[in-house]
Amino acid sequence: MKKIGLFILAICLYSSGISQDVTGTTQTNSKFRLGLSFSPVVSWFSTSGDAGLVEPDGTRFNIAFGLNTDFRIGENSQYYFSTGLFLLNTGGSLKHDYYIQNDDGSFSLTERTSDFRINYVNIPVTIMLRTQEIGYSRYFARVGFDAGVSTKSTYDYEDLRLSDDQTFSVEDESASDLTSLFRFGLRVEGGFEYNIGGTTNLFFTAAYNHGLNNVFTNDYELPTGESVDGRLAIDPNSGEPFLDREVKASTNLFTVTVGAYF
């Protein structure tokens, strides 16, 4: 985390000398723009496959922050290639039923809720389309993709035995073996920027990010068979253990961003 922060600071210091292009125009029309931003994030899982076995269970509130960089395309100040380097915290909750095998060989129906927290170093690859200046403002849209590399993954889970409402919970377990190293997403974003003087522009955006890949290393692993903790996932119709599970989950995000170009 400290190394990433120092890297962002170094880029800011290096880039301060090129915030204006060779023609001397302000950053509103410059070839290269540099900024910092902060985003509250709402994230949730979407499941596919045998989704009846595992279902999403609510949202998580997270944050993202980092460095924005824009590169003008050609001589037209309305088109930019936008990227950057961000720390993105995301995740979601999943819920599923399974049975615990008792000492006498019978089974007790149990409901597990798992709450995942996954941190990424995220790099967006987008195209920015901007309007002409309207007063001191410009409106814009960004469309493109996100590519993230996981730096940390943890989860909490709670088991509720439905027969007597007894609970058992575990917190802050490592999920690095359960979750994928990479995340890819489709980003659609809209916002506006406002010049407050010189080369400094404040900007505000709202964005939706749709996950494109399974966030888990394999299909979500329901406990089955004779696992070390004695749990079985049982088909409530046939009474037989589930042996084939094809459940995948992607992470979707909604973000509101405030930032500044310098």
Instruction: Tell which residue, 261, 254, 262, has the closest CA to residue 39.
Output: 254
Instruction: Tell which residue, 140, 144, 168, has the closest CA to residue 156.
Output: 168
For the chain, how many residues are written? 262
Question: What's the whole-number mean pLDDT along residues 85-98?
Answer: 90
Instruction: Tell which residue, 80, 204, 197, has the closest CA to residue 142.
Output: 80
Distance of CA 69 to CAs 9, 85, 188, 199, 245, Å?
A: 13, 8, 17, 14, 42
* Choice between 45 and 101, residue whose per-residue pLDDT is larger: 45
pLDDT of amino acid 230: 41
Question: pLDDT grade, residue 52 (50/70/90)?
Answer: low
Instruction: Tell which residue, 108, 113, 137, 5, has the closest CA to residue 54.
Output: 113
- Residue 95, strand partner residues: 55, 113
Residue 159 reports pLDDT greater than 80: yes
pLDDT of amino acid 4: 47
Whether residue 95 contacts residue 113, with contact meaning beta carbons closer than 8 Å, is answered with yes
Q: What is the pTM of this model?
A: 0.79
Helix (H) or strand (E) holding 204, with range, is strand 200-211
Three-state SS letters, 230-254: CEECECCCCCCECCCCCEEEEEEEE
Instruction: Tell which residue, 68, 67, 66, 70, has the closest CA to residue 21.
Output: 70
- Collect all residues with Cβ–Cβ distance below 8 Å to 144 and sequence separation of at least 6: 82, 124, 125, 126, 127, 187
pLDDT of amino acid 249: 87
**pLDDT tens-digit readout, 55-74:** 888 899 999 999 999 999 98
Instruction: Tell which residue, 220, 218, 235, has the closest CA to residue 57.
Output: 220
pLDDT of amino acid 54: 77
Instruction: Tell which residue, 97, 101, 93, has the closest CA to residue 251.
Output: 93
